[in-house]
Every structure is written in structure tokens, then in C-alpha cells.
């Protein structure tokens, strides 16, 4: 039965000398990676980690992130990679929510951990904190591994053992941990490999955050399955990204639309040789139509695909193939990722008619087992094996699906549905503003009213009258905001607006 660390072992036996990871000029072969993972697993076991214990990895993108995740898995722990930019209270949430007894820390997170220890000494006292990376606690252990490649550490692990807790982005509330066994994560890799066309020994550039399910499950684990060479960057910078594609002859790249927007602005982009790039896919947010055209021109040799999914799905979800991106780049997807079923249903669970808005639900091998520690939320989200995504979607006559809003963000005013994303898209070009979010305020007569929260552009003077005038030719009257507030727009690291925080602000 395949397991994630078992697959690493097989790859290392098959291609011991092939490069596995390159980070900051240092390349680790598959033999070295496998051996480092063995050393770390043995060390964790010697420090009291038992099968099924939780281990949190708080680390930015690096080669030691990979060693940490696989080391925990090989020691038969349930590994929870979390956002390396977490503040002390968030670290506390991840440790207490998972009940982890070991925390592996990347060097760039040392300050956050020090702040967490100071603020939460009781939890910290029961957690073993080990720092990864150069000059970390584990440096000697891991360095010794390179010299002793034959000493394999093996525990009996089953395909249906729990493997990962992956946190959602926390756009609609506190991040929830989605639980996956090895079987589910392996299926994500198989599905992604088929959908995006990964090939044996591909060279992959990893720039998006690896702790998030998109980069981790759609690309990092499948990369190990195919003996890929993964070049890892700790942070996104448009010029170094383009440099790396050229220098390493990168074949596969994943990024969010904003990353592509910045890459398109690299001044000498047209003079670069980026012909090695076979596949570029994007996700997490839709691509503006005008940007897609520019991408096709800048990357004429590249297949550009879109993935739209949810952490709860593994991620599973819907995709746009290259041909479909060419036709309707601003839609969210046309077909389910392979081996996955998708439906769009009304509140009774019946399929909606084409063109009508309903909730997207999905089913397949990759769906989470449930939320960690949250039976209430699991019962609401997973119904008869179908994961309810909370995404309101409509399907056009050719099957293209578009997410119009989150169920939680939809506004009902005077009995009519207003999709906040639609209003935001229409009003984004109002010249007085730099950013906006559409939310609701409870109202006695209408149930809810539409509220625009805006941050002014430099020198801009946004007013309700001005905004309403701008909106009049674009939106039906009932969708136009009746209130305008000036405030910062809180966003999470993937750029999504945290409307629950804004609603708290306006009700305060």
C-alpha cells in the first residue's frame, strides 16, 4: 500500500542521484533527501514522538521544510504545516487545536516562536521546539545523514493512516484543519498529474507557499512521485522567478494571478528565453481577462491552465484547460479535476437549472476525512460524502462555471440576492478608491443592506453619492451600496478579503 514516505523511498531507490530539491544554491539528491528524512524521523522518535502524534511545521519555503514534513510523516506523525507568518496567537491556535507535542521551526520563524513562548508559556512548556535549517538544533543530525545513506528508518504505516492536517486560509473565520490520510493525498497527486500533464523528472519551480494545500498537494508531493527536481524559492520576487525559469530550464510553475501580473511587468521579459516552461497554472483567484491575453503573448510555448479548488477537497475542484483559458479566462473552471464529481445545487440539495446560482458540491477520493477536532463543522460540510464548498456558482450553456460569491458573503436585501463579488468587480474601477469590499449590514425593513467599505486612492475623495453615480449604469438599483465606509480592507496571505473581520468592524 503506497504511503507518502514510502513513495519517497521508492523514488530514492530508483533515482538516487537525481536532484530532488534546490534551495539557495544547495541541491539535495533523492538519496540525500531520503536519508535526511530517515535521520529526522529517528530523532523525532527518540524525542518521544509516537505514531498518530501531531507535529506542526512552521516554516517558510525551503529544502528543510520538505525534510521536516517528510520526517514527521516517516515517523508516522500527523503533520500540520502552518503559515510561517503566523503571529503568537495564531501559533497558539495551531498548537492547541492540533494538540501537537513537537513544533519544527524554520529559521525565519524564530522571532514568531519566541513571541509565542513569551505569550503562552504553559503550552510552550509541553511542546518540544526544534529549529530546522542551517545553525538549527537538527543541523548535526541532518548533516550526519548525508554520510550514512544506508541506515533506513522504517515504521509500519498504512495507506489509511492519518497523514496531514492542512489549514484553510481563514477567509471566513478562523482557519480550520482539514484531515487527510495518505490515500487521499496520493490521489490528489494522481489527479493533478493527469489534469496538468506532469511528466517524469519535470523541473518544477516552487514559489507559492508550500504550507498551503495548492502548492503542497497539487505539486510538491506529486513532484516526489515523478522524481522531479524542485527548485524552491523562499519568497516571490518577479525578477528572480523569471531568472529561475530561464536558468534552471523550469518546465512547471504554479502561481496566483497576482504573481503573473508582476511577472508580466519584468522589463526585459520579451528578451528572456522562457521556452522550457511547458505548464503554468494558476488558482486561488480568477484571472482578469486582459491579463490572460498578455500571458499568452509572453509565454507562447506554455500551456496555461487554471485550478479552482478548496482545501477541503484535497484540493479538488474544477479546472480550465489551456483551450478553455483561451476562451473564457475569467471563469472558474469547466470540468472537474479527474476522478472527481461536481454538482451545483440549491438549498434542498437539488441540481439547479443551467444559468441559475447554486452551491458547488464535490465528491471523490481526495476529499478530507473531516475537519480536525470540529465534528460540528464537519457535519455541516460533508453530507453523504459530498463536500459542500460554500461557493456559489453558476454554469453557462457550455459548462463553464463561475464562482459568484461565498454563501456566507451573499447579501439578501428586500428578498433579492446580491453577490458581493459581482458588485466588487463592477465598482473596482471607481477612480477615487484603491481597494474595496462589499458587505452587508442588518436592516429592519430590508433584512440586509449593501455596504461598500473602501480605502481611498492617493488624493482620492470617495463619497457615497459619487460611488452610486458611478454604479448606476453598471448595476441594478438594489445591488448598489446604500452606505460607504472608509476603512482598511483586511486580507489574508493569499489576498482574499476577510469579510468576517469587516462585519465585526462595522457592527462595533
| Sole residue written with cell 522531479 | 228
Task: Identify what 72 binds: ligand ATP, Mg ion, none; CB under 5 to 8 Å per kind.
Answer: none
- Is residue 169 part of the contact set for ligand ATP (CB under 6 A)? yes
Give least dist CB 170 to ligand ATP, A. Answer: 4
Terminal alpha carbon distance of the chain: 54
Pick the closest to residue 367 from 336, 407, 340 (CA basis): 340
The residue from 83, 332, 378, 420 that contacts ligand ATP (CB under 6 A) is: 332
286 binds ligand ATP (CB under 6 A): yes
Cβ–Cβ < 8 Å for 366, 187: yes
Residue 175, contacted partner among Mg ion, ligand ATP, none, CB below 5-8 A by kind = ligand ATP
* Binding residue (CB under 6 A) for ligand ATP from 45, 269, 285, 489: 285
Helix count and strand count (H, E) for the chain: 18, 26
Is residue 172 within the footprint of ligand ATP (CB under 6 A)? yes
Q: Which one of Mg ion, ligand ATP, none is in contact with 283 (Cβ closer than 5 to 8 A by kind)?
A: ligand ATP
Give the residue, chosen from 170, 222, 364, 370, that forms a contact with ligand ATP under the rule CB under 6 A: 170
The grid coordinates listed for 356 are 441559475
Pick the stretch among 167-175, 257-265, 440-448, 489-497 that binds Mg ion (CB under 5 A).
Answer: 167-175
Tell me if 392 contacts ligand ATP by CB under 6 A: no
Choose the binding region for ligand ATP from 69-77, 93-101, 301-309, 343-351 (rule: CB under 6 A). 301-309
For residue 212, the minimal CB distance to Mg ion (Å) is 12
CA separation for the pair 75, 100 (Å, rounded): 14
Cis? peptide before 315, omega within 30° of 0: yes
Using an 8 Å Cβ cutoff, are 387 and 367 in contact? yes
CA dist 279 and 205 (Å) reads 11
Give the three cell numbers for residue 374.
470540529
* CB 217, min distance to Mg ion, A: 15
Tell me how far apart the alpha carbons of residues 45 and 65 are, in angstroms, rounded to a whole number.
18
Sheet with 433-443, edge to edge strand ranges: 433-443, 447-456, 483-486
CB of 89 to Mg ion, least distance (A): 21
Q: Dig out the grid coordinates for 159 from the structure.
A: 495507506
Of the pair 168, 206, the CB lying nearest ligand ATP is at 168
Chain residues binding ligand ATP by CB under 6 A are 168-173, 175-176, 283-286, 306, 308-311, 332, 389, 391, 403, 406, 496
Amino acid at each position: 500500500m503506497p504511503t507518502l514516505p514510502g513513495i519517497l523511498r521508492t523514488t530514492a531507490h530508483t533515482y538516487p542521484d537525481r536532484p530532488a530539491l534546490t534551495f539557495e544554491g544547495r541541491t539535495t539528491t533523492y538519496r540525500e533527501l531520503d536519508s535526511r528524512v530517515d535521520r529526522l524521523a529517528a530523532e523525532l522518535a527518540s524525542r518521544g514522538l509516537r505514531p498518530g502524534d501531531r507535529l506542526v511545521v512552521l516554516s517558510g519555503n525551503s529544502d528543510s521544510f520538505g525534510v521536516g514534513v517528510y520526517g514527521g510523516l516517516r515517523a508516522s506523525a500527523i503533520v500540520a504545516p502552518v503559515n510561517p507568518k503566523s503571529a503568537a496567537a495564531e501559533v497558539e491556535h495551531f498548537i492547541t487545536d492540533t494538540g501537537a507535542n513537537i513544533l519544527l521551526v524554520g529559521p525565519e520563524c524564530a522571532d514568531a516562536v519566541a513571541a509565542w513562548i513569551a505569550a503562552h508559556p504553559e503550552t510552550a512548556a509541553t511542546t518540544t521546539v526544534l529549529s530546522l535549517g542551517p545553525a538549527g538544533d537538527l543541523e548535526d543530525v541532518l548533516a550526519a545523514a548525508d554520510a550514512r545513506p544506508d541506515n533506513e528508518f522504517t515504521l509500519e504505516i498504512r495507506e489509511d493512516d492519518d497523514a496531514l492536517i492542512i489549514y484553510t486560509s481563514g477567509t471566513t473565520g478562523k482557519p480550520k484543519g482539514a484531515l487527510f490520510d495518505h490515500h487521499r493525498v496520493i490521489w490528489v497527486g494522481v489527479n493533478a498529474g493527469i489534469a496538468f500533464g506532469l511528466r517524469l523528472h519535470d523541473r518544477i519551480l516552487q514559489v507559492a507557499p508550500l504550507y498551503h494545500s495548492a502548492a503542497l498537494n497539487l505539486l510538491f508531493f506529486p513532484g516526489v512521485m515523478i522524481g522531479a527536481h524542485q527548485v524552491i524559492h523562499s519568497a516571490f520576487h518577479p525578477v528572480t522567478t523569471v531568472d529561475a525559469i530561464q536558468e534552471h530550464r523550469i518546465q512547471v510553475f504554479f502561481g496566483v494571478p497576482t504573481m503573473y501580473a508582476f511577472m508580466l511587468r519584468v522589463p526585459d521579459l520579451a528578451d528572456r528565453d522562457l521556452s522550457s516552461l511547458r505548464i503554468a497554472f494558476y488558482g486561488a483567484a480568477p484571472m482578469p481577462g486582459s491579463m490572460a491575453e498578455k500571458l499568452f503573448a509572453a509565454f507562447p510555448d506554455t500551456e496555461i491552465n487554471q485550478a479552482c479548488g478548496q482545501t477541503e477537497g484535497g484540493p479538488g475542484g474544477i479546472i480550465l484547460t489551456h483551450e478553455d483559458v483561451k476562451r473564457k479566462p475569467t471563469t472558474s473552471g469547466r470540468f472537474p479535476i479527474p476522478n472527481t464529481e461536481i454538482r451545483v445545487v440549491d438549498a434542498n440539495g437539488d441540481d439547479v437549472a443551467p444559468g441559475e446560482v447554486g452551491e458547488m458540491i464535490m465528491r471523490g477520493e481526495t476529499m478530507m476525512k473531516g475537519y480536525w477536532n470540529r465534528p460540528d463543522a464537519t457535519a455541516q460540510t460533508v453530507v453523504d460524502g459530498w463536500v459542500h464548498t460554500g461557493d456559489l456558482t453558476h454554469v453557462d450553456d457550455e459548462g463553464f462555471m463561475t464562482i459568484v460569491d461565498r454563501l456566507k458573503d451573499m447579501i439578501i436585501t428586500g428578498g433579492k440576492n446580491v453577490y458581493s463579488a459581482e458588485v466588487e468587480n463592477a465598482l473596482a474601477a471607481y477612480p477615487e478608491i484603491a481597494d474595496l469590499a462589499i458587505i452587508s449590514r442588518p436592516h429592519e425593513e430590508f433584512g440586509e443592506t449593501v455596504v461598500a467599505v473602501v480605502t481611498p486612492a492617493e488624493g482620492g475623495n470617495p463619497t457615497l453619492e459619487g460611488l452610486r453615480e458611478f454604479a448606476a449604469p453598471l448595476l441594478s438599483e438594489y445591488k448598489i451600496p446604500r452606505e460607504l465606509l472608509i476603512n482598511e480592507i483586511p486580507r489574508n496571505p493569499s489576498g482574499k478579503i476577510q469579510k468576517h473581520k469587516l462585519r465585526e468592524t462595522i457592527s462595533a
